[in-house]
Amino acid sequence: MNPLGILILIAGPLLGIAWLVLEFKGTRPQRMTCGILALVTMTAVASLATLIINQLNYNAWYGFATKELIDETIRGIEAGHSDTVIQALKAFQAEYHPTYENRAKFKPLAETTTQRIKNGNPQPSGGAQCGYVHWFLPE
């Protein structure tokens, strides 16, 4: 974690304790300043915690989707369905467009490719593509 994150994590509880002490011994401006700083800092701590939890969630779904795709690819090759596996992976490759803006629909594409390999149908039916997009993510 970077030094600013550590500072925020330490400053939040310390400002809260200082605010409590100032409620009994401080002047009104001291109480208000310390209270506002404590609230702002704890909001930053909550935001930081949310970012960390979201990143762990993204890592988890990316990892599980990748593992399932790899497992099914190996099963397909071992079962002698190399052509089906290659065609399904080529379709995945054609649909996958990584970008810094979003996760490039990796999870649904990996799940769709896994299903294609399992079902022995390497090409999308009717030219349909995976339509999984969150409202807040650009395509």
What the block records as the tokens of 33 is 């300043």
Distance CA(35)–CA(42), nearest Å, equals 11
Cα Rg, the chain, nearest whole Å = 25
Reply yes or no on whether the pLDDT at 135 is more than 50. no
Predicted pLDDT at 36: 93
Interior/surface letters 26-37, b for 16+ CB within 10 angstroms, e for the rest = eeeeebeebbeb
Alpha-carbon distances, residue 48 vs 9, 10, 120 (angstroms): 9, 13, 44
Reply yes or no on whether the pLDDT at 27 is more than 50. yes
- Cβ(89)–Cβ(113) below 8 Å: yes
Q: How confident is the model at residue 1 (pLDDT cuts 50, 70, 90)?
A: low
pLDDT tens-digit map of 35-79: 999 999 888 888 888 888 887 777 787 888 888 989 999 998 999
Q: How confident is the model at residue 28 (pLDDT cuts 50, 70, 90)?
A: very high
Closest of 73, 139, 132, 72 to residue 108, by C-alpha: 132
12: enclosing H helix or E strand: helix 3-25
Instruction: Give the rounded percent of residues in the chain with a pLDDT score beyond 70.
Output: 85
The overall average pLDDT reported for the chain is 81
